[in-house]
Amino acid sequence: MSEQSARKVVFVLGGVRSGKSRYAQELAGPGKRVAFVATAEACDDDMRQRIARHREDRPASWTTFEAPLALEDTLLECGNQFDTVLIDCLTVWTANVMQREASDSQRVLAHAERLANVLRSVSASVILVSNEVGSGIHPTTAMGRNYRDLLGFVNQRVAAVADEVILLVAGCPLVIKQPAEVSA
């Protein structure tokens, strides 16, 4: 997203290891002032390794913010100071919010609604990454089904305000939603 392009919200979805984070980083790359908003916390060895790999993959010139829960506030804080804000990822953020809100669906969805409102209000272009979990294995536990459903609703809310929605499959981007062409 170059500084010449108009401000927009791009939502990048995909399955695990589909290339969505790499693709989102490529979209953000051309921006001069890029903020990276990380939602993960290093709570175990696997997550520590994933976080380390993601840190190595992104340019040192980017400014990193950590927002495992306060994503809306962090976006408000940095969304008018940078050309581009890359949020990786809503999958982890939704799980974090569910834990904080004791899986109360209405409270989790209120966070998603606030995020959607903030996305409309910031001057930076925003790229968000999330997993598409609706096409995966049917969870065997009520908690797993609730998570899948809530993430699906969060993704739908963000997609509704996004200018572009791109689904990554095996590293290949499929445009799901794009701005309407303006006729002359």
> Which residues are marked as active site?
54
CA 115 to CA 121: how far, in whole Å?
10
* CB distance 151 to 131 below 8 Å: yes
Tokens of 140: 């065997």
d(CA 155, CA 151): 6
Residue with tokens 């392009």: 5
Alpha-carbon gap, residue 149 to 109, rounded angstroms: 11
Which three-class secondary structure state does DSSP give residue 11?
Answer: strand
Rounded to 10 degrees, the C-alpha dihedral 114/120/124/125 comes to 100
CB 122 within 8 A of CB 81: no
The answer to whether 138 and 97 are in contact (CB under 8 A) is no
Most distant pair of Cα atoms in the chain: their distance: 55
